[in-house]
Amino acid sequence: MPKYFVNEDFSLNEETIHHLKRVLRIKLGDKIILCDGKGFDYHVSICNLNPLEFTVDNKIACNTELDYKITLYQALPKSDKLELIVQKSVELGVYEIVPIITEHCDARPNLNKINRYQKISESAAGQSMRGIIPKIYNPIKLCDAIQDSSKPMLVAHEKATANFLAIAPKVVKGDSLGIWVGPDGGFSQTEIELMEQSGFETFSLGPRILRTETAAIAAIAMLQVVIQ
């Protein structure tokens, strides 16, 4: 069954209603899943089309969320790569995404795109049957993100010697952690030193140089293999 997120008053937004009516062409009696964004799914049946109304058949806890919260600190990539990173990271279970501005970033912050990234997050969350919609924050400078951090942090770095699969179990001690991924040019040496001084652990994803979008997706996927 298709899954959609409801507003705080348990109503559907106009975009979702249009998709149900015009794209899926739902009929009376059709069943869909609605999620409150707080971890609960509602299996409902369509009882009226104009206006669109439904009856709740069952309420169940969503069991697709990870047992820990991953915050992805993603350096702003070129072009529209962040859209792919948001989509795939949300599918893989990331809790939230913080775009960061680093020395080697060629892209510049565009606050007008935040709403689009949030919509991509919602769509990916529904497609992957998530129980929440991961939040996409406004971009911030790397130094500000470091000061705001208080959880275990893992930093993807092409010059690191520690294997990710080896250090992840040692660093994950609580119910949340951060994964940091630089731009295609990587983090600068100054940035790496600053993060290491703050207690961050650097890791390698192997001998090959990965694009920033590949590194983010690979790290999140590998982390789940280690912990689960």
Partners of 40 in beta bridges: 61
CB-based contact 93:220 (threshold 8 Å): yes
Helices and strands (H, E) in the chain, number of each type: 7, 11
Residues sharing a CB contact under 8 Å with residue 53, sequence separation 6 or more, in sequence order = 46, 47
Asked whether this chain's domains 3-61 and 69-227 adopt the same fold, the reply is no
Residues 165 and 144: their CA atoms lie apart, in Å, by 28
CB-based contact 83:106 (threshold 8 Å): no
Residue 158 has what pLDDT? 86
Residue 228 has what pLDDT? 57
Residue 187 has what pLDDT? 94
Residue 151 has what pLDDT? 84
Residue 160 has what pLDDT? 87
Residue 110 has what pLDDT? 79
Residues 30 and 221: their CA atoms lie apart, in Å, by 35
Residue 147 has what pLDDT? 84
* Per-residue b or e along 184-198, where b marks 16 or more CB atoms closer than 10 Å to that residue's CB: bebbeeebbeebeee
CB-based contact 32:44 (threshold 8 Å): yes
Residue 68 has what pLDDT? 87
Residue 78 has what pLDDT? 87
Which 3 state secondary structure label does DSSP give 96?
A: strand
Q: What class is the 3-61 domain? A: mainly beta
Tokens of 57: 């058949």
Residue 171 has what pLDDT? 64
Give residue limits of the domains in the chain.
3-61, 69-227
Which residues of the chain carry a pLDDT beneath 50? Answer: none
Phi–psi pair at 81, nearest 5 degrees: -60, -30
Residue 172 has what pLDDT? 63
| Cα separations in angstroms, 169 against 112, 161, 177, 199, 213 | 38, 16, 12, 16, 23
Residues 131 and 119: their CA atoms lie apart, in Å, by 15
Partners of 90 in beta bridges: none
Residue 176 has what pLDDT? 86
- By C-alpha distance, which of 137, 119, 130 is closest to 36? 130
Q: Please give the CATH topology (third level) of the domain spanning 69-227.
A: Alpha/beta knot (3.40.1280)
